[in-house]
Amino acid sequence: MGAVKGILLVIVSVLLFVVFLLGNVLLTLDKSLDYETIKPELVSNVKEVIEDKINISKIIDEKFEAMELYCLNNSEFIFSEESYTFVIPCDVVAGGTDVVIDYSIGSFVDKFYNGEIEYDGFDFVKLKDSVNSYFYIALVVALVLFVLVFFLVEVKSNAFIISGSLLTISSLPLIKIEQFLSWIPFDFAEFFIVFFSEANTVFLISFITGLVVLAVGIVMKFFGVGFKIFDFVNKFNKKGGGNKVVKKVFVQEKATSGKSVKPNNL
């Protein structure tokens, strides 16, 4: 039975490690796909796409005088190019061509991120929602596997030590994930790195959490050993104290009667 539990413990521990790895990747994707996090990189990449397809800077330069005239009596200027529609508030037009270009690209990115504009069928919001759902599934699976580890180990503190160690180790690949992605021999690889921009943040979260769980296990083990030593010393002291009481009674009886009395249990 002990060998069977040992084999099961190894299998469950390996599965827990794999789930920790997967969870770290999913959490990295989830955090990296936050709009405020990914927007700067999207603006850079989308600007290149827009410039290649419709040359937005040139178009705005050509239309800028018309924008200024139109904005004398209106609140916004709308124009379309290559099936893309741009709505420019007149407050923005007052800032000049560079401000209009930046605003146009930013509004395009907003729509691109929210799925209002399709580009190769990519939808960031749906991707983030899916990643978030899978992360919570991984989290539940990790908790179930931890419970299994807890019941399979003989010393319960070892469940925390094993889980904490696995979580700490599983966070280490995140340190080099951007370097690994940079080795991919495709143009898309540079854009793909954007999805792991928060790898260092997740590494710290996972690494510190693993150390905390590990520390809990070590403290539990330390106090477990401490309590055993305390119980042993306490029992020893009680046993020693009983003999002293018998000896004290023997001495008192001898002093009273003047006879030699042999104490019991000595």
Higher pLDDT, 257 or 59: 59
Higher pLDDT, 35 or 92: 92
Is the pTM value of this prediction over 0.75?
Answer: no
pLDDT > 90 fraction of the chain, expressed in percent and rounded:
32
Higher pLDDT, 123 or 185: 123
Residues 6+ apart with CB under 8 A from 13: 149, 162, 166
CA–CA distance, 80 with 207 (Å, rounded to integer): 49
**Where are the domains positioned within the chain?**
2-216
Residue where the block lists tokens 């305390």: 230
- What's residue 1's pLDDT? 44
- Write out pLDDT tens, residues 18-69: 999 999 999 999 998 888 887 777 777 677 767 777 788 888 888 888 898 9
Helices (H), the chain: 2-32, 35-53, 56-70, 90-93, 97-113, 124-152, 157-171, 177-182, 188-192, 199-257
- What's residue 184's pLDDT? 62
Average pLDDT, the chain: 79
Highest mean pLDDT among 106-110, 113-117, 158-162, 230-234: 158-162
CA–CA distance, 177 with 206 (Å, rounded to integer): 15
Whether 189 and 182 have beta carbons less than 8 Å apart is answered as: yes
- What's residue 234's pLDDT? 59
CA–CA distance, 6 with 24 (Å, rounded to integer): 27
Amino acid letter, 111: K
Whether 101 and 64 have beta carbons less than 8 Å apart is answered as: no
- Find the distance separating the first CA and the last CA of the chain, reported in whole Å: 45
CA–CA distance, 12 with 151 (Å, rounded to integer): 11
- What's residue 136's pLDDT? 96
CA–CA distance, 103 with 99 (Å, rounded to integer): 6
Whether the per-residue pLDDT at 104 is higher than 50: the answer is yes
- Write out pLDDT tens, residues 155-177: 888 999 999 999 999 999 988 87
pLDDT grade, residue 145 (50/70/90)? Answer: very high
Residues 6+ apart with CB under 8 A from 224: 155, 157
